[in-house]
Structure 1
Amino acid sequence: MALLGGCAPAGNSPAVDPLDGLRQQAGDALAWYDHAFRAAGGAPFVPVGELTRQLGDWEPANGSYKESLAAGRVEAASTLPGAPQPAVGTIVWTDGTRHDVPLMSADGALAQLRAGGTGDCSGCAPLKLTGARLTTMTVPTTRGPATVPAWEYTLGGTAVRLARVAVDPSAVVRVAPPPRDADHPHEGLAVESATTTTASSELTVTFTGAPGPASKPCGADYGAEAVESDLAVVVIVIEYRHAKDEACSDIGAQRTASLKLSRPLGERAVLEVTQGLPVELTITG
């Protein structure tokens, strides 16, 4: 958590702003994001979270399938469909914005699904895919929810189906955390989502913080600031605690903070400061 308190400067040494480290971390995250965005050719599709979705619940007898899926132990039991011809689909955002993207085959999407697994499932039986069809799914993005082409797979021995985004990886901006070392760990509070309007420069973010206000023991109040670029903004949450060194429980609560950007967000992504990852955006008007 970002702390505002600090030690008094010694001698004539200049005072150090305790937020400077977080601002530098935010600048690194912006540079990392800009690189990922340009590497994808400026693709506007920046999904948030996982691109694989489970449809339905595992039956009691199939409880081990959960571990198999998490590990990426999924195999095709028959030939899967290739990419449609022409291999182009359309992403549609809730504001009506549309963007054509290249699609991959069901086998290609399956390879992506497997690559996203942990691989750690000693003795797990692989899930068997029995078929696939091209459909759509709604995914959170840095520009709000979008309807995206997806492959939906049927599985042997269960009514559960799997869906995986069918957009070719070349048209997807996927952001990895900037490299850090043991001497420079990730710091700060990670925002989990953001809300704004089309024309407003105000941004409201949600995160997990202290359950109560700073006027109560173990409580805290929160503010926020942003470090901005042309492609993204990184939000730094500033915490004002009731007191230092209190013995408090680990129970957290959803909190919010609002801040003013230098201009409306537009098509820029909102990133959390700890790892520089994009967060889900809601545009309310």
Structure 2
Amino acid sequence: MRGKLLPGSLLVGAAMVLIAGCGLTPGRSGDVPGAVAPESMDPLRRQAREALARYDEAIQDAGGEPRFAPIGEGTGQLGDWEPHNGDNKLKVSTGTVVAAGPLPGAPEPTGTVVWQDGREREVPLLSAGAALDRLKAAGTGECPGCVPLKVTGARLDTARIFTMLGPATVPVWEFTVEGSTVRLTRLAVADQAVVAVNPQPWDPDKALGAHAIQSATTTRGGRDLTVTFYGSPGPASKPCGADYNAEAVESATAVVVIVTTRARGSADVCPAIAASRTATAQLDQPLGDRAVLEMQQGTPVQVTITG
């Protein structure tokens, strides 16, 4: 497979945190401008524990070790749409896709997920028709006047994607479409083997005071967990800048990192510009095989483990 699955849901999340990154804070602490008041942390910690509970439920539903939790929605694309097929991108994103005829079942009942560090897991496979149904269900369903894109065939292949345990090679269905050389891909792993958290609706009020994280980095055996997020372009020592705190809320299966503003630089008017920033939280114990979750929606983010 020469392509990779597109993390479409992450693109939406990035847009939302870009708005939140210029962040309002729910209170002040002493004379430190822009800092989150101690009493404002309790609702954020409660929200983090709720996200951990939802993840534990998803683990129980999927079962098995190591846990297979893909990052992103599971739909991908090989190649670029031709100029005369410009509206096909909208059709795919809205799920306006149909099968032109019967699609094959899986040639074997199971396939193998292989992680970069050599770990493997046997997983049940979906038929091509079921995978196409998942592709359609992932769409927004709003494509006024669109003629559905026709899928003309499918074959089982593999692709490299990001998961909560790092990069992995996974089974995917590769679909051919009418009138184009582009091929669509969809994760072929059956639902019961996938740790799937139902994202909570984005609520700007609940996001006040905390920044949605995008990724995390740690070392094998280390207790420092560094997360990336969108925030003010510079430190609090500069006008319109900010400094940040990171606090970890942990369970046996996952970690939620709450990123809050520690201090904000003074300025009369600040542009609505966000930049990628980092903050480091201290863990009670090394991350191990645990997931790192974005707090509000409770979905896993990409984790890089070094050393």
Relative to the length of structure 1, the TM-score reads: 0.91
Amino acid at match of 2:85: N
- Relative distance call for 1:180 and 1:254 in structure 2 (3 A) is closer
Q: Distance in 1 between matches of 2:98 and 2:261?
A: 47
Following superposition, the deviation at residue 6 of structure 1 comes to: 3.0
> What's the counterpart of residue 11 of structure 1?
none
SS at match of 1:140: strand
Q: Is the 8 A contact 1:189 1:274 kept in 2?
A: no
- Relative distance call for 1:4 and 1:260 in structure 2 (3 A) is farther
> What's the counterpart of residue 272 of structure 1?
294
- Relative distance call for 1:271 and 1:18 in structure 2 (3 A) is same
Unaligned runs of 5+ in 2: 1-22, 31-36
> What's the counterpart of residue 83 of structure 1?
106
* Percentage of matched positions with identical amino acids: 55
SS at match of 2:170: strand
Spell out, residue by residue over 1:75-114, the C-alpha distance to the aligned partner (whole angstroms, 9 max, x if none): 11122111123x1100011100000000011011001111
Matches within 5 A, 1:102-181: 102-178=124-200
Of the candidates 78, 88, 98, which is equivalent to residue 120 of structure 2?
98
> What's the counterpart of residue 46 of structure 1?
69
Q: Is the 8 A contact 1:2 1:238 kept in 2?
A: no
Q: Is the 8 A contact 2:230 2:277 kept in 1?
A: yes
- Relative distance call for 1:51 and 1:216 in structure 2 (3 A) is same
SS at match of 2:159: strand
Following superposition, the deviation at residue 241 of structure 1 comes to: 3.3
Following superposition, the deviation at residue 42 of structure 1 comes to: 4.5
1:262 and 2:284 correspond = yes
Amino acid at match of 2:134: Q
Following superposition, the deviation at residue 2 of structure 1 comes to: 7.4
Q: Distance in 1 between matches of 2:87 and 2:129?
A: 24
Amino acid at match of 2:179: G
Relative to the length of structure 2, the TM-score reads: 0.85
1:217 and 2:239 correspond = yes
> What's the counterpart of residue 185 of structure 1?
206
- Relative distance call for 1:161 and 1:180 in structure 2 (3 A) is closer
Q: Distance in 1 between matches of 2:266 and 2:64?
A: 45
> What's the counterpart of residue 239 of structure 1?
261
Of the candidates 78, 81, 85, which is equivalent to residue 55 of structure 1?
78
Following superposition, the deviation at residue 208 of structure 1 comes to: 0.7
Of the candidates 23, 37, 43, which is equivalent to residue 21 of structure 1?
43
Which sits farther off after the overlay, 173-182 or 229-238? Answer: 173-182
Unaligned runs of 5+ in 1: 9-14
Of the candidates 245, 251, 259, which is equivalent to residue 273 of structure 2?
251
* CA RMSD between the two structures: 2.1
The runs of at least 4 consecutive aligned structure 1 residues that moved more than 2 Å come to: 1-8, 15-18, 177-182, 184-187, 240-247
- Relative distance call for 1:18 and 1:246 in structure 2 (3 A) is farther
Q: Larger radius of gyration, structure 1 or 2?
A: 1
SS at match of 2:213: coil
Task: Give the number of equivalent residue pairs.
Answer: 277
Following superposition, the deviation at residue 179 of structure 1 comes to: 6.8
- More helix per residue: 2
